[in-house]
Amino acid sequence: MKPIFSHVGIVGAGAMGRGIAQIAAQAGSTVLLFDMQPDAAHAAQTNVFAQWDKLCEKGRLDAAQTALYKSRLQCADSLTALSGSDLIVEAVVERMDIKASLFAELENLVHPGAVLVTNTSSLSVTAIAARLKRPAQFAGFHFFNPVPLMKVVEVIAGLKTSASVCADLASYAQQMGHTPVQAQDTPGFIVNHAGRGYGTEALRIVSEGVADFATIDRILKDQVGFKLGPFELMDLTGLDVSHPVMESVYHQYFEEPRYRPSVITAQRLAGGVLGKKVGDGFYRYDGGTAQISPEEPAPQVDEMPPVWVSPRAARKSELLLLLKNLGARIETGASPSPQALSFVAPLGFDVTTVAVVERLDPARTIGIDMLVDDATTRRRVLATNPATRTDMRRAAHALMARDGKAVSVIRDSGGFVTQRVVATIVNIASDICQQSICSPTDLETAVTLGLGYPMGPLAMGNLYGPTNVLEVLFNMQTVYGDPRYRPSPWLRRRGAIGLSLLHEEE
């Protein structure tokens, strides 16, 4: 099949530009790779050639294909050499002045029908195009690293971008073997916007002293199914990359509380504690392996108190069955006896608030997160309140670990860990749809392919229940008094009428 863009110029021979050059050549385009740094383009070409040779050795490419691909990837010694390109992709440093100046120069070199695109991850496509004479021929074409493996690309329309240009770019992405998603020109586009909730909410939990980095990572991996915990992910990405994105999206949205960064990452960035690349981040690394202390074993308790379950507990019947299966002595009275360990299972509220409202003895009250079906989770999470007695905490931990399932005990927190992180992710995703930044379908595709979440954020909201997510958000807003947790109208309306979050409006 003939490629939509037969001659492609790429400016910037770093990892991103190199990856785009590789898949463009594989799609059938003749590619010219240019970089201002001497020999950078040739080094990138050598790297790509070596990758193709390795694929050939493994039998995934034949010799003829390898030779053909190599013939299509060439180096340019000047910008002028790119003048015959149908498409020019910019993949240089994330600075508005450099990008704008580069495109103004490129526009004077290429023919009027040529398309110019930026691979920016955080800058405004419209602002970059503002100095151009043909802004209709300019768009965002945002790939993710490593390009050959990350199979999603955001096609971003600036304010004056032609719809046909976006359609051609989407088709070309498919020819490259990638999945295109259409996005409006808003801060963070889709993937970097939707990803704001995971790390920032985890950082807030740490800042409140609720749990440490490793505990939060374990909870979100074991309860929700994330491949990497938020702190493992930030260590892998590097705070020199992730923190500036947090600040950029926050400031571009005029200090919207949902995207508020954390002083924790700002301080660590200033101190050079960047993550795995320097051997020291939220974890220390030895030979590239994170050094994580093992969890303490569940305590041994000789005499277990009787247990009582709040009538307002989430998944009350499931919690009672769980306790029965664990061999607990269950009280069934309207209120607990003076000897009982009281279990509460709130959505969004903290244990302290529930104990006060339900007139329970806080010294004997423990919270358990029941947002996730216990049968599907690999970890149970308990929360104490400031008055919880040590013997009650130990008894609750020992009881919940009787069947061998992992148990984490955290300090009091509105929404525990999973509830508040999941609710934040779903809420931000819902607001992306509310703003018509993209379709719900493209949102789900972009997040699952671009962020590697176990499912899209809207599917996540459907799984745990839009009404449950709403309750978590409303109650967290009450506990913290922070507009960060105000529910998006998209989520509130669909939750109120029992409509799927994936429902596309006509």
Catalytic annotation, pick one of 29, 142, 262, 310? 142
192 in active site: yes
121 in active site: yes
Q: Token match 């020999």: residue?
A: 39
119 in active site: no
The structure tokens listed for 459 are 């599917």
142 in active site: yes
Distance CA 417, CA 287 (A): 30
Are the beta carbons of 365 and 385 closer than 8 angstroms? yes
Are the beta carbons of 90 and 20 closer than 8 angstroms? no
Catalytic annotation, pick one of 119, 192, 242, 488? 192
The answer to whether the bond into 294 is cis (omega within 30° of 0) is no
- Provide the strand spans (E) within 391-437: 406-410
Distance CA 328, CA 344 (A): 15
Write the DSSP assignment of 49-111 as a string of letters.
HHHHHHHHHTTSS-HHHHHHHHHHEEE-SSGGGGTT-SEEEE---S-HHHHHHHHHHHHTTS-
Single out the residue of 78, 89, 3, 99 nearest to residue 35, CA to CA. Answer: 78
Read off φ and ψ for residue 181, nearest 5 degrees.
-125, 140
Residues 6+ apart with CB under 8 A from 233: 198, 199
Single out the residue of 226, 228, 256, 262 nearest to residue 242, CA to CA. Answer: 262
The structure tokens listed for 383 are 């929360």
Is 325 exposed, middle or buried (CB count within 10 Å of its CB: 0-12, 13-18, 19+)?
exposed
Is 319 exposed, middle or buried (CB count within 10 Å of its CB: 0-12, 13-18, 19+)?
buried
Catalytic annotation, pick one of 90, 107, 154, 444? 154
Read off φ and ψ for residue 9, nearest 5 degrees.
-105, 140
Catalytic annotation, pick one of 29, 85, 119, 121? 121
Q: Which residues are catalytic?
A: 121, 142, 154, 192
